Amino acid sequence: DTGVSQDPRHKITKRGQNVTFRCDPISEHNRLYWYRQTLGQGPEFLTYFQNEAQLEKSRLLSDRFSAERPKGSFSTLEIQRTEQGDSAMYLCASGPRGEPGYEQYFGPGTRLTVT
Amino acid sequence: AQSVAQPEDQVNVAEGNPLTVKCTYSVSGNPYLFWYVQYPNRGLQFLLKYITGDNLVKGSYGFEAEFNKSQTSFHLKKPSALVSDSALYFCAVRDATGGFKTIFGAGTRLFVKA
């Protein structure tokens, strides 16, 4: 069990640029979440995958955000035309298959700074 | 709609004293409830959860939490605080009767003084 990994750990970009983040979940986990966390707040749910299917997506997520998990393993989160308000920590978490009351295992996060 | 409230931004306690970090929740169905901890420069770590059964659940590092359905609360407790318990604590809820969305509270910073 190598844990959840995220890449890159830090990203600085200029407003208007596109960015893509990668998440590698724990290998036997089929559930995958993306969250956004800003200073002084808890993680805010963005989207949920079960295997390769995106089953739930926050209504707060604008059309500039898209996520994929094409083979049910790693996932990518893309933000198009970044804005300064997108600056935050982006967290990925995975969960095991089967049991409904599962806990989530979090990666270290990708800190995005939009200048 | 689901929601979680952590009414205290910070809790201060002396080492060796009992600690309580409060959490109340709102969910349309039955809740799955969780506590996570975040140490400086480290990712969120799972502490404990309530799924069903006994209202008192025990977790990592000597922490426990009590589920109270009538008060819709899930307070985190520890009988004797350690300086190393100082961290940011998050309560979270997921609706057990449908959906996968997990809602987190804003967090409570615990400061344990030696």
- Supply the pLDDT for residue B82: 97
- Supply the pLDDT for residue A60: 74
Contacts of A74 (CB under 8 A, 6+ apart): A22, A23, A24, A25
Measured distance CA(A33)–CA(A47) in Å, rounded: 6
State pLDDT tens for residues A54-111: 999 998 777 999 999 998 899 999 999 999 999 999 999 999 998 888 999 999 999 9
Chain A residues touching residue B34 (CB < 8 angstroms): 103-104
- Look at the alpha carbons of A81, B42, B91, A7 in this order and tell me if their dihedral is positive or negative: positive
Which is more confidently placed, B48 or B53? B48
One-letter amino acid at A61 equals: L
- Supply the pLDDT for residue A86: 96
Flag if B92 and A42 touch (Cβ within 8 Å). Answer: yes
The nearest CA of chain A is from the CA of B16 a distance in Å of 27
**Cis peptide, bond prior to residue B40, ω within 30 of zero:** no
* Confidence check: pLDDT of A1 > 70: no
Nearest to B99 among A35, A41, A56 (CB): A56
- Supply the pLDDT for residue A68: 95
